[in-house]
Amino acid sequence: MSAIVSDEFDVVRQHEREVSAGERFEFGKNWAAFLSVLDEERIETAVQSLREMLEVEMLAGKRFLDIGSGSGLFSLAARRLGAEVVSFDFDTNSVACTRELKKRYFDSDANWRIEQGSALDAEFVASLGKFDVVYSWGVLHHTGEMWRALGNAVLPTQKGGKLFVALYNDTGSQAARWHWIKKTYCRLPRILRTPFAVAVSLPDEAKRLASALLRFKPMEYVHSWTRYKTGRGMNRWYDIIDWVGGFPYEYASFDAVFEFYKTRGFTLTKIISGGVGLGCNEFVFERKD
């Protein structure tokens, strides 16, 4: 049975309107391209990253909610760890990607359900039930109302359950500049978007290459591309496009997120924060109330 979608949200039409208006990046199309390079090594890397952050070996007997499933990779990882999985995304193409992965690896599996919905729709999120793990990596800062989405993530987290979120770090004026870049990308004609992404990425890439050459370690730069999947199982080029085009775009400091969830009865159990720059701080909270 499909989850409830409140009258406030006609998800498909809303997504189409925002993309047409240049107010939203088409994350799902980028994830569809990523599926062409997805392999067993990337999947196992994603599985291992979940084990490490959640500090578990398996998730058998647990319910796992993937808010903003994207490619579906981490829903797949959770299912491989034995969890009963519910995935949802706002983007129509992301939902299709997640369904494709389910078809490839867990076809007709009743323990993996996929929906289309918005993290801003409290009624929809609450209708999904309660979960032992609520997971949302690099998603809620793209909703356009990040703090509202973070509040809604509380709803499906059961007592004693874990909430694993990753959010862009607040770096002040640097983050504000990237807000402009991302918004500009989404408003450009499609033919200009890839050249624009390359142009704005070149300065950082040039610094990485120069640093490697000056230290007589040119392969370090090469490996930053060829071994990128050893992190979270992702692909560097598609992550660059996701980063440059990722709009709406919000960000938050470690302290702000910590205090937000502390007042809602959550205890921080694990954090990856230092040195992330413009990237994501990763938080694992446990619900105590």
Parts of the chain with a pLDDT under 70 = 1-9, 28, 228-234, 289
As a whole number of angstroms, the distance between CA 240 and CA 74 comes to: 19
Q: Is 74 helix (H, G, I), strand (E, B) or coil?
A: helix
Q: Is the dihedral of CA 15, 84, 105, 138 positive or negative?
A: positive
The neighbour count for residue 210, using CB atoms within 10 Å, is 11
* Residue range 11-170+250-287 in CATH 3.40.50.300: no
Report the half-sphere exposure of 55 (CA within 13 A, side-chain side): 10
Query: What pTM value is reported for the model?
Result: 0.84
The reported pLDDT for the residue numbered 123 is 95
Token pair 């999904």: residue? 128
Q: Is 209 helix (H, G, I), strand (E, B) or coil?
A: helix
What is the tens place of the pLDDT at every residue in 12-29? Answer: 788 788 878 777 877 767
Burial of 23 (C-beta count, 10 Å sphere; 0-12/13-18/19+): middle
Cis peptide leading into residue 203 (ω within 30°)? no
Q: Determine phi and psi for 204, rounding to 5 degrees.
A: -65, -40
Under a CB-based contact definition with an 8 Å cutoff, are residues 163 and 264 in contact? no
Q: Which residues pair with 287 in a beta bridge?
A: 266
The neighbour count for residue 86, using CB atoms within 10 Å, is 24
The reported pLDDT for the residue numbered 235 is 72
Under a CB-based contact definition with an 8 Å cutoff, are residues 135 and 64 in contact? yes
**Nearest-10 crossing angle of helices 190-214, 236-245:** 120
Domain ranges for the chain: 11-170+250-287, 173-245
What is the tens place of the pLDDT at every residue in 97-127? Answer: 999 999 999 999 999 999 999 999 999 999 9
Query: Which two tokens mark 270?
Result: 């694990």
162 alpha carbon, distance to own chain's centre: 17
As a whole number of angstroms, the distance between CA 267 and CA 287 comes to: 6
